Amino acid sequence: MATIKANSYNIYIGDKSFDALNTFLTKNKYSHYYILCDEHTFEFCLPTLLFLAPLLNEAEIIELESGEDKKTLETCLQVWGALTDTGADKKSLIINLGGGVISDLGGFVASTFKRGIDCINIPTTLLSMVDASVGGKTGVDFEGIKNHIGTTAEPKAIFVNPVFLETLSERQIKNGYAEVIKIALIADINFWKELKKLISVSEFSSEKIITKAIALKNSIVKKDLHEKNLRKSLNFGHNIGHALESALIKQNKDILHGEAIAAGMIMEAEIAKPLKRISLKEQKEITDYIRSIYKNIKITKETETQLLQYILHDKKNEGDDLCFALPNGIGAYELYCGVKLDLIKKAISNY
């Protein structure tokens, strides 16, 4: 089992991480346990959790409907209501058992209920293991804007057990792997070289890859929890990727976060090249690897118009300056403000 130290808590990784969970539960005397899950993690993950952590058999189970469209204040009302109706107090613990939707929403609910109660994350998707559960960003979508309402509130611990990935689809594994690619590109060239050798989906989610990706994200978050500077590097691929995700969701198209981010990284690498942040060879290397894994996304004229609107309103911009977190050579990054709209349009049309 690997243990990674975050700001104020530990991240335990491996099939033995549940031994650490049992120790955590025994040591901290909580008055009530609440397990937050959706219908899929209820079916596929909860039985394993209850078997391996028997203390949790006395937990209240709060089952939510799955899906990004349920990451809303209405669902929070449902959870706050269930906590209130069952007598949750300041010494209650919320256990987020699920993907990024559950950890974002559960973390937000925990950080606001009675001005904050403890929560832990037990991520069950690759995306939530390597990214969403780590770093203390919580929140929900509001009026169609992703993560518009939220807090920065770190969990008390994270327990990453890769056994849960056995029931996850190949598409969902690739979804999470996009964030693994991103962290390598901005933070560690050797990790990138290692990734380029991986071709099978089972290799994308090995314990070794998960551990390295978490360690890299955690080292960035530890230096800049509130995203004043360094943490902005994690936004590589996300200006265009988030905009693309929002535009396609608005059109009711089937798109996953990581798929949009993969396309976003291709387009933002195209922006980084004329700005001399990466060479043509590096751009080709990035593009070829991403294209070997992810299907091309069709960008219609309508999508392009919406995409540009979302990019212009991105909260990562500073005043009128369009700010992008771009690689500065593979394995490093630079926050580049003042990216011209023409360059963005060109990157979209060349995609």
Q: Which two tokens stand for residue 20?
A: 């650490």
Contact 324, 336 (CB under 8 A): yes
Q: Quick one: 45 or 269, whose CB is closer to ligand NAD?
A: 45
Q: How many other β-carbons are positioned within 10 Å of the β-carbon of residue 202?
A: 10
251 close to 319: Cβ distance less than 8 angstroms:
no
The CA-to-CA distance between both ends of the chain, in Å, stands at 41
CB of 122 to ligand NAD, least distance (A): 10
Report the residue number whose CB is nearest to ligand NAD: 100
Contact (Cβ atoms closer than 8 angstroms) between residue 117 and residue 78: no
> According to CB under 6 A, which one of 1, 9, 22, 40 is a site residue for ligand NAD?
40
C-alpha closest to that of 120 among 234, 209, 17: 17
Phi, psi of 96 (to 5 degrees): -90, 105
If the CB atoms of residues 40 and 346 are measured against ligand NAD, the closer one turns out to be 40
Residue closer to ligand NAD by CB (options 256, 278) is 256
With respect to ligand NAD, which residue has the nearer C-beta, 14 or 135? 135
Q: How many residues bind ligand NAD (CB under 6 A)?
A: 30
Q: Is 218 in the site for ligand NAD (CB under 6 A)?
A: no
- 233-252 residues near ligand NAD, rule: CB under 6 A: none
The set of residues, in sequence order, having a beta carbon less than 8 Å from that of 242 and lying 6+ positions away, is 146, 260, 261, 264, 310, 314
Per-residue binder mask for ligand NAD (CB under 6 A), 61-90, x = binder: -----x-x--x-------------------
H runs (alpha helix) in 113-206: 126-127, 170-187, 189-196, 201-204
Q: Is 328 in the site for ligand NAD (CB under 6 A)?
A: no
Q: Binders of ligand NAD among 117-136, rule CB under 6 A? A: 124-125, 127-128, 131-132, 135
Q: Do 121 and 108 contact (CB within 8 A), yes or no?
A: no
CA atoms of 269 and 253, how far apart (whole Å) = 25
252: closest CA among 179, 313, 303?
A: 303
Write down the least CB distance from residue 108 to ligand NAD, Å.
10
Q: Which stretch binds ligand NAD (CB under 6 A): 39-47, 152-160, 273-281, 326-334?
A: 39-47
List the x/- string, 157-196, binding to ligand NAD by CB under 6 A: -------x--xx---x--x---------------------
Question: In 3D, which of 97, 151, 170, 93 has the Cα closest to residue 128?
Answer: 97
DSSP reduced 3-state for 90:
coil
User: Is 44 an interacting residue with respect to ligand NAD (CB under 6 A)?
Assistant: yes
Q: How far is the CB of 147 from ligand NAD (least distance, A)?
A: 6
Residues within the interface to ligand NAD (CB under 6 A): 38, 40-41, 44-45, 66, 68, 71, 98-102, 104, 124-125, 127-128, 131-132, 135, 137, 146-147, 164, 167-168, 172, 175, 257
